């Protein structure tokens, strides 16, 4: 199993191999993704889906490798710190400790 720092390094590569998958998603969810994607600067709904999946995966990997991260995130949110700032800081902190 790869360590978190190895995963981060791999995810930073632009030439990562891609795999085609097929999954069932409710039609209304796809419609919403298609509507939201350009508003967030994505070229289409599939890149947005990849971003959402990657974001959730990074959070879960960090929680598994650094158990106190979830409590820290929740505390920061209660104190009004935004998700973008939290993600950035945690990403920098985890990367430095690697």
Q: Taking the domains of the chain in order of start, what are their residue ranges? A: 4-25+51-97
Q: How many CB atoms lie within 10 A of CB 89?
A: 14
Q: Output 1 or 23, whichever has higher pLDDT.
A: 23
- 97 SS3 class: helix
User: pLDDT of 5-21, one tens digit each?
Assistant: 676 677 767 788 889 99
> 């995966």: which residue's tokens?
57
Query: Which of 25, 87, 81, 79 lies closest to 61, judged by CA?
Result: 87
Question: With bands split at pLDDT 50, 70 and 90, how would you rate the model's confidence at 59?
Answer: confident
pTM: 0.61
């Amino acid at each position: 199993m790869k360590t978190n720092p190895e995963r981060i390094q791999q995810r930073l590569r632009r030439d990562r191999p891609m795999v085609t998958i097929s999954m069932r998603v409710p039609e209304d969810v796809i419609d919403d993704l298609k509507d939201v994607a350009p508003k967030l600067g994505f070229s289409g709904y599939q890149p947005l889906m990849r971003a959402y999946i990657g974001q959730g995966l990074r959070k879960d990997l960090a929680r598994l490798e650094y158990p106190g991260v979830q409590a820290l995130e929740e505390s920061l949110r209660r104190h009004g710190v935004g998700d973008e700032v939290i993600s950035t800081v945690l990403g920098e902190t985890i990367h430095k400790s690697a």
